């Protein structure tokens, strides 16, 4: 009789333990999936804030979604400049839900690593990329196919272990 009364409790504790174990074993750096990976990059037909030309075609490039009100975005700016230099790629900025004045002042105050910066004041362009928050960074190959989505600020570790090796592989392909 006591065993039958304790059985539901034992089952519940076992299930909680299994679920907890699965959550703890999850890779904290795992990227969320993106339906864009392996598909053509969405068009970026937006107003230009700074820089020249249009998003690159026929070359490996990087899109970084940022905002003037985003502290992690400010922190990653020097690393994005390093990415452009070390990787030999154009980095395009997409200013998310900002005004032209705030976006321009942010880049002037904190440095501008972008070859081209586009404005997305209503977030419509970012929506096409599946952006869920800022910062987010995408790597696009020569054929215009999205190869990586990185959420959160780019760190020195991300730069050396993920972004630069991928860019080098894509440039050789």
pLDDT in tens, 131-158: 999 999 999 999 999 999 999 999 999 9
Q: Is residue 22 part of a domain?
A: no
Q: Is residue 19 part of a domain?
A: no
Q: Is residue 148 helix, strand or coil?
A: strand
Q: Is residue 58 part of a domain?
A: yes
Task: Measure the CA–CA gap between 68 and 51, rounded to whole angstroms.
Answer: 17
Number of domains the chain contains: 1
Task: Measure the CA–CA gap between 38 and 138, rounded to whole angstroms.
Answer: 12
For residue 47, the Cα-to-chain-centroid distance in whole angstroms is 21
How many angstroms separate the Cα of 76 from the Cα of each of 61, 89, 131, 139, 159? Answer: 17, 16, 17, 16, 10
User: Are 97 and 121 within 8 A, CB to CB?
Assistant: yes
Least confident of 5-9, 46-50, 58-62, 135-139: 5-9
Q: Is residue 75 part of a domain?
A: yes
- Residue 40: Cβ within 10 Å count: 11
Q: What does the pLDDT average to over 62-91?
A: 97
**pTM to 2 decimal places:** 0.82
- Highest averaged pLDDT of the listed ranges 5-19, 29-43, 149-163: 149-163
Residues of the domain holding 55? 32-172
User: Are 94 and 66 within 8 A, CB to CB?
Assistant: yes
Q: Is residue 12 part of a domain?
A: no
117, with CB counted inside 10 A (0-12, 13-18, 19+), is buried
- 146 forms beta bridges with 140
Q: Is residue 5 part of a domain?
A: no
Q: Is residue 6 part of a domain?
A: no
Of 137, 140, 129, 149, the closest CA to residue 170 belongs to 140
Q: What is the DSSP letter of 119?
A: E
CATH number at residue 138: 3.40.30.10
pLDDT recorded at residue 9: 55
Q: Is residue 40 part of a domain?
A: yes
């Amino acid at each position: 009789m006591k065993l039958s009364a304790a059985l539901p409790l034992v089952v519940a504790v076992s299930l909680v333990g299994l679920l907890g174990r699965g959550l703890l074993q999850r890779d904290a750096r795992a990227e969320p999936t993106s339906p864009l990976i392996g598909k053509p990059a969405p068009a970026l037909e937006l107003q230009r804030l700074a820089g020249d030309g249009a998003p690159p075609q026929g070359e490996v490039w990087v899109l970084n979604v940022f905002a003037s009100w985003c502290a992690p975005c400010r922190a990653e700016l020097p690393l994005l400049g390093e990415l452009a230099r070390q990787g030999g790629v154009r980095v395009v900025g997409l200013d998310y839900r900002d005004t032209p004045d705030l976006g321009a002042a942010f880049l002037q105050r904190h440095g501008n690593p972008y070859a081209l910066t586009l404005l997305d004041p209503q977030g419509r362009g970012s929506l096409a990329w599946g952006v869920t928050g800022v910062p987010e960074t995408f790597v696009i190959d020569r054929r215009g196919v999205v190869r990586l989505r990185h959420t959160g600020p780019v760190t020195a570790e991300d730069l050396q272990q993920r972004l630069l090796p991928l860019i080098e592989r894509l440039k050789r392909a």
